[in-house]
Structure 1
């Protein structure tokens, strides 16, 4: 598992050495945050905010892929 800090360090290095143009995170749920967050939902929010800050800092787009819960399919109102 990668932490947001690991991604940040690698992206900064790649931006400096190779003019990084895009960051793609495949499966956001495999990342972990600071460890100070009590719920996984809040931790994913913290990770997302960190990636957004990194995108602004490095001026590169970041695409983060994530899996949504399929629990919505069992509800009568299927709106997310």
Structure 2
């Protein structure tokens, strides 16, 4: 039950976070430096999302296993 509340909260808060992240302060893309300049920021973002999704799936599976064990006793 707590996992459902957590997921609902994340789905509500993530769009607001993404909307706030739109203002990057760089007027021209040519001024971008570092990871942005080479387009590697998308690789970093993909890795971070993959790790977060893996953790969420792990927590959901662990919660289901614990619930099953608790009901069995």
Greater RCO between the two (CA within 8 Å, min separation 6)?
Answer: 1
Q: Shorter-chain TM-score category?
A: 0.3 to 0.5
More strand by share: 1
The structure whose Rg is larger is 2
Normalising by structure 2, report the TM-score: 0.34
More helix by share: 2
